[in-house]
Amino acid sequence: MYTRHDPTSSRTLPPTVRIDGSKIKDIRERQGLTQLYVATAVGVTTDTISRWENRRYPSIKRENAMKLAEALEVDISEILEHEEEQAEEQAEKIGSDKAGPHPGHTASTGRRLQPLPARPWIMLGLAAGFLALGLFLLWLHGRSAGNIVISASRVLPSHSAPGTTFPVLIEVGIMPKGPVSLLVKEKLPKYITALRGNPPYSAGNGEGMLKWIFQGDVNKKLFCYVAAINNKVALGKKLAFNGTVTIRKGATVSVTIDGDAEIETAPFHWADLNRDNVIDDEEILAVYDTFSGLKAVESDLQDLEAIWSAGGYKWDAKHGKFVTLPLKEE
Amino acid sequence: MKNTIIFLAVSVCLASFMPFLAPCASAQGISARYAKIDGNHVTVEIKISAPAPKTILFTQSLPPGTTILKSAPPYSKYDKMTGTATWLLKEIRPGKRKIHFITDKPVSPGSISGVMRFRDPEKGKVMRITIAP
């Protein structure tokens, strides 16, 4: 069950509307969306989005405001300037400029403030009541989001050699199929650097954080990247990966990426599952079945095929690479 | 009585063609056979139905001392010790794929065989099909 924005809320809008720049920025960042994404969805430039966000209440075309609300997946009323808030702020400002607030009244509207309850336990009771209501609403929201079933799984080799590269695959499944916005975040461990991705990732704020934003109508999506292990890391070290997938499809749901989460540094090729310095037929079949067709991995697969057809390999620790060897004659 | 005789006659006719039909090995919607063995020209035909595996490995065993002069597509690996050539067929789609190769000496149908391996696209299990002329 998805919550749809009420289009009737925008029917009575004038041709130009004033939007709340800071609120738009807040919503966009909370949703994990880039200015580029929003600009593309609205059909304007990133400069325009930046201008809208940085000015307090810019006036924009009604159509653009509607597209903006749609891109941010909020009701249009949430991004419009609220006259009441503005009036209150202005009044507060005026009030503070004058002699100060009158006891028991707001400076602007003259509304009487409710007196504080005489007994603290009433306050506590009310707070507990609101908390329970909030939790109940949250639970209801979770249940409605629960109609979307997401699975996120990582395929990571069990080992790889220092100085070499290895591929990582994140498979996201979404049920039911339909228009969806995905945000995938992958935190890389120390000593690991991402080199290329398929689709291309954007580096996040923190070091070693990869991000993908995807919007489309799918029930399965693959995110792949090739990473390198620092040449100086010792053998036998276990490096842990972790990541999350956030999906917006009416409701917002976030899941942890499960599957493989650890890679060990070892003097063997990542595709050499039995660590015998030979890439055998079944090993190469497994690799091609998992990673073929992914552009980011193409050159790694060519190198691997060269090792497989040569017969064997050894790890050159000094240069952090694999050297192909002919098959041993028995 | 007349119908029975006609039925038997047709059956005998059909059965007499059986030795001329190349045996076809199949598993999980994939089948393979030697479509042609003519002197030193050999053609293997692989039929693939959906869902297709992503990759197929075909290994051809040759008589001792026989080598492949030319092949289309080119073989990926050749093991002198075992006299086997292996093709790594990628980007498999439903339909037909052919492997054609020319040996340095004529080969007889009884002296060659091949093994096709792929992963079942639904179960992930490695499947193995042996083909012989």
Q: Which domain holds residue B110?
A: 23-131
Query: What architecture (CATH level 2) is domain A7-81?
Result: Orthogonal Bundle (1.10)
A329 touches chain B (CB under 8 A): yes
**8 Å CB contact of B90 and A308:** no
Domain count, chain B: 1
Sign of CA dihedral A277, A283, A284, A288: negative
Q: Residues for chain A: how many in total?
A: 330
A285 touches chain B (CB under 8 A): yes
* Partner residue opposite A284 with nearest CB, options B53, B81, B88: B88
pLDDT over 90 at A61, yes or no: no
Which pLDDT tens digit goes with each residue over B35-63? 999 999 999 999 999 999 999 999 999 99
Give the residue on A whose Cα is nearest the Cα of B76.
A309
Mutation test of the interface with chain B: which of A281, A298, A303, choosing the one with the most B Cβ atoms within 10 A?
A281
pLDDT for residue A56 = 75
SS3 A69: helix
A309 touches chain B (CB under 8 A): yes
Q: Contact A297/A314 with Cβ under 8 angstroms?
A: no
| B4 in any annotated domain | no
**8 Å CB contact of A286 and B53:** no
What CATH number corresponds to the domain at position B49?
A: 2.60.40.290
State the virtual CA torsion across B82, A308, A312, A197 in degrees, nearest 10.
-170
pLDDT over 90 at B20, yes or no: no
| B17 in any annotated domain | no
Burial A291-319 (b: 16+ CB within 10 A, else e): beebebbeebbebbbebbbbbbbebeeee
| B6 in any annotated domain | no
**8 Å CB contact of B81 and A305:** no
Q: Please report the ipTM that was assigned to this predicted complex.
A: 0.76
**Tokens representing residue B74 in the block:** 């080119």
Percent helix, strand and coil across chain A, each to the nearest 5 = 35, 30, 35
| B10 in any annotated domain | no
Mutation test of the interface with chain A: which of B28, B30, B56, B57, choosing the one with the most A Cβ atoms within 10 A?
B57
Which pLDDT tens digit goes with each residue over A138-172? 655 544 445 778 899 999 999 999 999 999 999 99
DSSP per position, A30-43: HTT--HHHHHHHHT
Q: Which residues contact A303 (CB under 8 A, 6 or more apart)?
A: A322
**Tokens representing residue B94 in the block:** 């439903």
Give the separation between CA A70 and CA A49, rounded to whole angstroms: 14
Which pLDDT tens digit goes with each residue over A245-290? 998 877 788 899 999 999 999 999 999 999 999 999 999 999 999 9
**8 Å CB contact of A289 and B59:** no
Mean pLDDT computed over A104-130: 58
Stretch 31-70 of chain B: residues touching chain A, C-beta under 8 Å: 53-55, 57, 59
**8 Å CB contact of B81 and A329:** yes
Q: Which of A284, A282, A275, A289 is nearest to A306 (CA)?
A: A284
DSSP A80: B
pTM for the model stands at 0.63
CATH code for the part of the protein at A149-275 = 2.60.40.10
Q: Which of B63, B71, B76 is nearest to B106 (CA)?
A: B63
pLDDT over 90 at A203, yes or no: no
**8 Å CB contact of B57 and A281:** yes
| B8 in any annotated domain | no
**How many angstroms away from the CA of A306 is the closest CA of chain B?**
9
Give the residue on B whose Cα is nearest the Cα of A328.
B81
Place of tokens 């707070």: A127
